[in-house]
Amino acid sequence: MTDAPRRRPTLDEVAERAGVSRSAASRVLNNAPHVRRDKREAVQRAIRELDYVPDTTARALATRQRGAAALVISGESPSIFADPFFARVIVGASAALEEADLHLMLCLAASDRSRRRLAELLRARGVDGVMLMAVRENDPVLRVAAETELPVVFGGRPVGAEPPWYVDVDNVGGARQATEHLIARGRRRVVMICGPLDTQVSRARHRGYREAMILAGLEPLPPECGNFTQLSGAVAMAELLERHPDLDGVFAANDNMAADALRTLRGAGRAVPGDVAVVGFDDLDVAELTEPSLTTVRQPIQDLGREMARLLGRLIAGEEPSSLILPTHLVTRSST
């Protein structure tokens, strides 16, 4: 009587023995660079202890490249396509991916259905890597990104997390400079129109505002939050005028909100910059079209998309690149 053949251990068992996720074990098995050293060593030790032998056919299928990268935006499509910020990001990313012979696939992940389709795309390895933007706190798309074996590059960091690879902008420093500029112009009752506080970009810009006010010995006032659209800027400005009729400076967390804040101030009979000085953030085209033209913090939006794509391309090629934080600078116009 012969012994029954010994059952081959599975990748799930390797992951369990190593104390890591299945996707992390798979990345180690495929020699992917984007794995922490301690996890890599734990998986390699589990492979030896279990005498694990991978399925070479499945492994070959899993490592085949598709020649495409996904730009995933976690947001509602109408507001995204109306915002020139995302158009610039897409232009920059597309140009860099073209240099790397990668096609750009744009995915919107605002609904449960769209996130399920995204998860299926990534499980099937329909792309070689992912760029992820506009992520909110506790965003369900974060779970989709965490479960994939593909490299993921974040455009901006998510709330409460420091992903391995990201390209971000110096939002704190830019907001601090904007507020310091208002203070240097003699403004003492400076208010802020913030973005949604469940995003890291909004929290960072609010932090910069607070730091500048405190360092100047001034009281930071509670912000009024919008959603980065022009209409929300108008609503926020009206609320701030009601709460703080003596305000003399406004820092808006993006140019869209600043543009309608200017219109609201004018409608309330406030001269800009005579009575109230206003600074925005982004340096979008609208900043030169407002009346008066808008002082703003310029961030390199197209470079943000370009560097995200370059970073992802290097990860796909097996390199180990570092994350980036891009600089900002103030552009002074007539609103201050």
125-157 pLDDT, tens digit per residue, is 899 999 999 888 889 999 998 889 899 999 999
| Domains with residue ranges and CATH for the chain | 11-63 (1.10.260.40), 68-169+303-327 (3.40.50.2300), 171-298 (3.40.50.2300)
Higher pLDDT, 11 or 239: 239
pLDDT, tens only, 144-197: 988 898 999 999 998 888 899 999 999 999 999 999 999 999 999 999 999 999
Is residue 30 within 8 Å of residue 11, measured between CB atoms?
no
Residues above pLDDT 70, as percent of the chain: 92
Per-position b or e across 51-86, b if 16+ CB within 10 A of its CB: ebeeeeeeeeeeeeeeeebbbbbbbeeeebeebebb
Return the CA Rg of the chain: 24
pLDDT, tens only, 326-335: 999 999 999 9
Residue 259 carries which side chain, given as an amino acid letter? A
